[in-house]
Amino acid sequence: MTAERIDGKIFAEGLRGRVGVLAAEFTARTGRKAGLAVVLVGEDAASQVYVRSKGKATIEAGMAGFEHRLPADTPEADLIALVETLNADPTVDGILVQLPLPAHCDEGKVIATINPDKDVDGFHVINAGRLAVGQAGFVPCTPLGCLMLLRDRLGDLSGLDAVVIGRSNIVGKPMAQLLIAQSCTVTVAHSRTRNLADVVRRADIVVAAVGRPEMVKGDWIKPGATVIDVGINRVGGSEPGKTRLVGDVDFAGASAVAGAITPVPGGVGPMTIAVLLRNALVAAYRNAGIDLPENAI
């Protein structure tokens, strides 16, 4: 048995295409483009790459991108003042403050300043609460992308046994809430879970988001299970040509057992920016008081 590869790149391209069509409709109806503001503080190399990619994707989707790059020593008060200005700007529908922030800035305080209805990252505690009680809000992009891939592969998820490995606020916890909302039976596991391999073996769905290279072994996987690997880990040292990207799952071992699995790279990764664009467009429609066609994105 060889698992089917779940191609996140192809799915993400389709989602971005649908976003582009609806973004054009939004512009035609309102006379302006949906607007996404991205704030970057400091010179973190990975963050700069992410911000550049997000900005390019925003323009390609037919939306307006507002990029704010601030020096690493920007006072927290100035950053908060910028966020408050963006909250009040009617041309800005979504606000994303790129993490991590410099140590002198309190991430929780900054995120709490974002208008929850413009919080397209889904990190605000109000959006976390909305997700927990089943109200409409914004969900972090990576777990929502994982859910889209699962529903595309499996259809109705109700009654399935799901194990989420990882309990972060960005992936693990919201992923569990999304699966509960789909009527799955959900276990949230982590590094301190006893008999973790046995816990994973009973799962029809495994979402690995623990940040440990190839921690989940092939013999942990239930035959025919669907495996979503959120991990992106660099291994092999820093020498040119020797570094490679691997997930949190032993891909070769799991592929021999699972029914379907996301590769790394090319699985969950492309979904994150696509879902960010989707969230920004949803924010624009909501802020303008326009209904989106049901299940359009």
User: Which tens digit of pLDDT belongs to each residue from 117-164?
Assistant: 999 999 999 999 999 999 999 999 999 999 999 999 999 999 999 999
Distance CA 164, CA 185 (A): 11
User: Looking at residue 106, what is its pLDDT?
Assistant: 97
What is the pTM (predicted TM-score) of this model?
A: 0.94
pLDDT band at 238 (very low <50, low <70, confident <90, very high): low
User: Looking at residue 42, what is its pLDDT?
Assistant: 95
Nearest alpha-carbon partner for 99 in 77, 115, 114? 114
User: Looking at residue 295, what is its pLDDT?
Assistant: 76
Q: 141-270: same fold as 30-115?
A: yes
Residue positions annotated with a catalytic role = 54, 98, 121
Q: What mean pLDDT do residues 33-51 have?
A: 93
Distance CA 34, CA 292 (A): 13
pLDDT band at 191 (very low <50, low <70, confident <90, very high): confident
* Chain segment 218-234, per-residue pLDDT in tens: 999 999 999 999 998 88
User: Looking at residue 149, what is its pLDDT?
Assistant: 98
Distance in Å from the first CA to the final CA of the chain: 33
Distance CA 249, CA 228 (A): 9
Distance CA 274, CA 272 (A): 5
The hierarchical CATH code for the domain 30-115 is 3.40.50.10860
Delimit the domains of the chain by residue range.
30-115, 141-270
Distance CA 142, CA 128 (A): 14
CA distances from 260 to 52, 54, 91, 153, 222 (A): 32, 29, 42, 8, 11
User: Looking at residue 25, what is its pLDDT?
Assistant: 96
Nearest alpha-carbon partner for 169 in 142, 196, 149? 142
Residue-wise DSSP of 221-247: SPTT-EEEE---EEES-SSTTT-EEE-
User: Looking at residue 4, what is its pLDDT?
Assistant: 97
Query: What is the sign of the dihedral through the CA atoms of 94, 100, 101 and 107?
Result: positive
Query: Is the pLDDT higher at 243 or at 222?
Result: 222
* Chain segment 271-292, per-residue pLDDT in tens: 999 999 999 999 999 999 999 8
CB 128 within 8 A of CB 174: yes
User: Homologous superfamily of 141-270 in CATH?
Assistant: NAD(P)-binding Rossmann-like Domain (3.40.50.720)
Phi first, then psi, for residue 96 (nearest 5°) are -130, 120
Decide if pLDDT at 240 tops 90: no
Decide if pLDDT at 15 tops 90: yes
User: Looking at residue 67, what is its pLDDT?
Assistant: 96
* Chain segment 51-107, per-residue pLDDT in tens: 999 999 999 999 999 999 999 999 999 999 999 999 999 999 999 999 999 999 999
Structure tokens at 293: 């066609």
Q: What mean pLDDT do residues 234-261 have?
A: 88
Distance CA 91, CA 112 (A): 21
User: Looking at residue 7, what is its pLDDT?
Assistant: 97
Decide if pLDDT at 6 tops 90: yes
Residue with tokens 């799915």: 11
